[in-house]
């Protein structure tokens, strides 16, 4: 029995079976490559589900974390700490938002965003029946609040009604959204670019119309940038392309590049009428280690000019994916922006992903028929060519 087999057997014995894991034990990474416990090398086009934007082994990032570990890792929010204050300033500056609350994950950021919207409405006119409009086919997380606004009934059906008072509209269909709006609507939440739902970007006019509607009705617009933010589309945040600003925004994943950290941010207008002492909290949120990671990530984004690199290489990635679409009849569509792309197939993609993995390429799905391409943002042209070669080989062998 190999080392990998021993570790997988151990995990299967003790893990709660909530994941259908790939039969690979990942052990270390370097650049855009991962290595399993037996030494096999993989080109990573999943990045830990759009997390490792800087790739593996970034020296400046690692050194910043080591330095903070030698200082202090945790203090609680009963005290200030320097990394949290500096990270808050930096994140507000790059996002154009005014206030931030640091969380431990994306789903916690969604929870905070929903609570903020409900408190904002309650402050204006106390009520217990305010409604939130979410989008069909959306995905916002698996805690009860985040699950309640996730637009896939399959994820929700075993867990009851959730937080209640949620209406679902059709993404990119403004009339559908308008029909759902009532005097009780306090917020509209959506991903700027839907991920799990199939890699669907918001259309420009749809986003502009929703923003205008929110302004007219004093409804808060919550944009989920957990996966599509942090440079993945070529902008620091995907909403920048639409010439708007959300009232509340969530971030996570690449925000910490592997260290668990998320955030929800809001404008000063919302903050003035929203959460106050006692309304929300987190023992670990905003601890010195996670905020040192945020600072290191933002510093590396600037030093390596990550956004320019994504914008420069995105057309080539798009071109190669389009070539795959044109070459194989089972590929029916390509969608996405920047380094968040999807190929849709007329068949389930599980076998294709498995065969690519056998050839040394890590890919993930977005639903049963879509392969998602969310590589580290530091990939180069030769990495795109390597991916293209493996995918075409696997498809030719089907």
**Span 227-245, pLDDT tens digits:** 999 999 999 999 999 999 9
Structure tokens, 134: 């979410």
For the chain, the first-to-last Cα distance in angstroms comes to 30
Our separate counts of H helices and E strands in the chain read 14, 17
Q: Which helix (H) or strand (E) holds 34?
A: strand 33-36
**Span 368-396, pLDDT tens digits:** 999 999 999 999 999 999 999 999 999 99
Split at pLDDT 50, 70, 90, the class of 202 is: very high
Alpha helices in the chain (DSSP H): 3-14, 47-50, 59-69, 82-95, 106-124, 144-148, 153-156, 174-180, 204-217, 268-272, 288-303, 306-327, 350-358, 381-396
Report pLDDT for 372.
Answer: 98
Report pLDDT for 154.
Answer: 84
Burial of 78 (0-12, 13-18, 19+ CB in 10 A): exposed
Count the Cβ atoms, other than its own, within 10 Å of residue 332. 14
The span from the CA of 262 to the CA of 291, in Å, is: 10
DSSP string, 211-230: HHHHHHHTPEEEEE-TTTTT
**Span 15-28, pLDDT tens digits:** 999 999 999 999 99
- Show the domains of the chain with their CATH numbers: 3-54+305-396 (3.90.1150.10), 61-303 (3.40.640.10)
The span from the CA of 94 to the CA of 88, in Å, is: 10
Q: pTM for this structure?
A: 0.96
């Amino acid at each position: 029995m190999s080392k990998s087999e021993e570790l997988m057997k151990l995990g299967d014995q003790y893990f709660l079976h909530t994941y259908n894991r790939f039969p690979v034990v990942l052990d270390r990474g370097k650049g855009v490559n991962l290595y399993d416990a037996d030494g096999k090398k993989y080109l990573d086009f999943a990045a830990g589900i759009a997390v490792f934007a800087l790739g593996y082994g970034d020296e400046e990032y690692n050194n910043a974390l080591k330095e903070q570990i030698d200082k202090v890792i945790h203090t609680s929010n009963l005290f200030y700490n320097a990394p949290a204050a500096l990270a808050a300033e930096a994140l507000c500056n790059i996002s154009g938002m005014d206030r931030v609350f640091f969380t431990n994950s994306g789903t916690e950021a969604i929870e905070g965003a929903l609570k903020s919207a409900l408190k904002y409405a309650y402050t204006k006119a106390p009520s217990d029946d305010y409604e939130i409009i979410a989008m069909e086919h959306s995905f916002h997380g698996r805690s009860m609040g985040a699950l309640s606004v996730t637009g896939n009934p399959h994820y929700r059906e075993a867990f009851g009604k959730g937080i209640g008072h949620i209406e679902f509209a059709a993404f990119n269909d403004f009339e559908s959204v308008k029909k759902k709006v009532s005097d009780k609507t306090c917020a509209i939440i959506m991903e700027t670019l839907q991920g799990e739902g199939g890699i669907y970007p918001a259309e420009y006019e749809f986003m502009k119309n929703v923003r205008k509607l929110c302004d007219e009705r004093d409804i808060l617009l919550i944009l989920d940038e957990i996966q599509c933010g942090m440079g993945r589309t070529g902008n620091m945040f995907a909403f920048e392309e639409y010439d708007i600003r959300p009232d509340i925004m969530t971030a996570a994943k690449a925000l910490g590049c592997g260290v668990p950290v998320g955030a929800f941010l809001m404008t000063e207008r919302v903050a003035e009428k929203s959460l106050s002492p006692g309304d929300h909290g987190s023992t670990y949120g905003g601890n010195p280690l996670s905020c040192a990671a945020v600072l290191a990530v933002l510093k590396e984004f600037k030093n390596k000019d990550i956004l320019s690199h994504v914008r420069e290489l995105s057309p080539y990635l798009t071109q190669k994916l389009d070539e795959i679409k044109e070459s194989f009849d089972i590929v029916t569509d390509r969608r996405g922006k920047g380094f968040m792309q999807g190929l849709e197939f007329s068949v389930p993609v599980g076998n294709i992903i498995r065969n690519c993995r056998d050839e040394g390429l890590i890919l993930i799905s977005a639903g049963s028929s879509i392969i998602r391409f969310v590589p580290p943002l530091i990939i180069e042209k030769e990495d795109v060519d390597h991916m293209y070669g493996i995918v075409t080989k696997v498809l030719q062998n089907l």
